[in-house]
Amino acid sequence: MSVTTEFTSVEAQAIAAKKAAKVLSQLSTAEKNEVLHVLADALEKKTNVILEANQLDLDTGRAKGYDAAYMDRLALSKERISEFAEGLRQVATLEDPTGKILSSWTLANGLLVEKVSVPLGVIGMIYEARPNVTVDATGLALKSGNSIVLKGGSSALSSNQAIVQVMHEALDHTLVPKEAVQFIASTTREATQQLFTMKEHIDVLIPRGGASLINAVVNQATIPVLETGVGNCHLYIDVEADVDKALNILINAKTDRPAVCNALETAIIHKDWLIKNKSHLVDIFNKHGITVHGDEMAQTYIPNAVPATEKDWANEYLSLDLAIKTVNNVEEAIDHIETYGTKHSEAIVTENKETAKKFMSLVDASALYHNASTRFTDGGALGFGAEIGISTQKLHARGPMGLPALTTVKFIMSGNGQIR
């Protein structure tokens, strides 16, 4: 019951996706929403099929000795599958990002110019062991009128294939050709290489996962890439920082969900503030089980701190570890972020508006926070509805990417014989 046996190669799949995208681009918003509901219902109805397949992946993962966090991301349940379905129904409620006249004007010669949003076409999604991406990305792609080519991590292969199989069967009863959702089962280097370079058939690649996955895509792809997610996020606690705000934000950003990309990795602390508030810091680090990797001065005032090395400044711990760098002023903080940041989310705590303004202006990142936690860099938290990822690049989309990031534009000119 492999979903891909009908296709002879990755290229054939991409070509089929492109053809299906034409059909998809002609559907109305209501028609697309209806399809999302059909998919949601099918996932809930076929939950057992998906859970059986997931069990195979879990058995393999256990045999391979994957760690608990990894197994947790991989594991599905009736509740999680219901959440997937609910997510699709949620996407159905969002505004259709296509078919909007973004601007229009008439030239002196009478030529009407309209800038209209349209689907990108075919989206290539490359991700690791989270089967939820299979559903979430499909929902966002279809809502925005795009076909999708999915390439999930091999450790979730059975789960992903089962999910796609369920969606394909459901699409058979809709206006969306099932070819609009392609799943690449092959894990060969050739299949990956093909996927990265099929410029004629795929319009954008979106990698979601760790730094090595993302770098592999960026370095090998000739298709434009939307880079997502690696977040080496910093919090600068200024000499004029309010103590309660600083401690609350530090703890929230570090401990609320340490494994996500908007979690805090390095606190940059003004030396005078550190000296004044060292006992508060020691208290909260102990209370929350945070391991501090400090520079020399941090080691002096935080007794349990281990020495920070160059690697610590660049590291995305994704755990309860925290690097502490001490500085003499906001400029040194900005320089440190410039050197080690990944342009994701950077925060400052200060009561001095001028200092905050300088930080906002000179730090180059997707999301900047004054007296708030980096944890808000999230499509849901910021009110985008749903997100396909968080872009850390500067072109096309930056920060949380909602449905509009999956569109492009056409200039449509209507005339009555105008020439130049």
Residues 6-35 that bind a copy of itself (CB under 8 A): 22, 25-26
The Cα–Cα gap between 401 and 215 comes to 19
Identify the three-state secondary structure at position 109: coil
Residue number with CB closer to a copy of itself (167 or 334): 334
| Maximum pairwise Cα distance, the chain | 79
Q: Is 256 in the site for a copy of itself (CB under 8 A)?
A: yes
For residue 143, give the nearest of 99, 103, 183 by alpha carbon.
Answer: 99
Residue 294: CB minimum distance to a copy of itself, A: 23
Question: Is 369 an interacting residue with respect to a copy of itself (CB under 8 A)?
Answer: yes
Name the residue nearer to a copy of itself (CB basis): 24 or 81: 24
- 389 near a copy of itself (CB under 8 A): no
Residue 90 has phi, psi (to 5 degrees) of -65, -45
Q: Smallest distance, Å, CB 119 to a copy of itself?
A: 10
- Residue keyed to tokens 């993962």: 61
Return the closest-CA partner of residue 400 out of 374, 372, 370: 374
Q: How far is the CB of 112 from a copy of itself (least distance, A)?
A: 9
Contact flag: residue 2 with a copy of itself (CB under 8 A): no
**Considering CB under 8 A, how many residues would be counted as binding a copy of itself?**
67
Tell me which of 186, 291, 360, 385 binds a copy of itself, using CB under 8 A.
Answer: 360
Binding status of residue 362 toward a copy of itself by CB under 8 A = yes
Whether the Cβ atoms of residue 253 and residue 288 lie closer than 8 Å to each other: no
CB of 370 to a copy of itself, least distance (A): 5
Pick 153 or 177: Cβ nearer a copy of itself: 177
Binding track over 115-154 against a copy of itself, x by CB under 8 A: -----xx---------------------------------
Specify the pairing of strand 264-270 against strand 291-294: unpaired
Q: What is the token pair recorded at 135?
A: 């559903």
Q: Are strands 389-391 and 399-401 parallel, antiparallel or unpaired?
A: antiparallel
- Give the residues across from 123 on adjacent strands: 148, 204
- Give me the residues paired with residue 103 across strands: 115
| Distance separating alpha carbons of residues 273 and 279, to the nearest angstrom | 11
Query: Which residues are near a copy of itself by CB under 8 A?
Result: 22, 25-26, 105, 107, 111, 113, 120-121, 199, 203-204, 218-219, 222, 224-226, 242, 244-245, 248-249, 251-253, 256, 356, 360-362, 364-373, 375-377, 381-383, 393-396, 398-400, 408-420
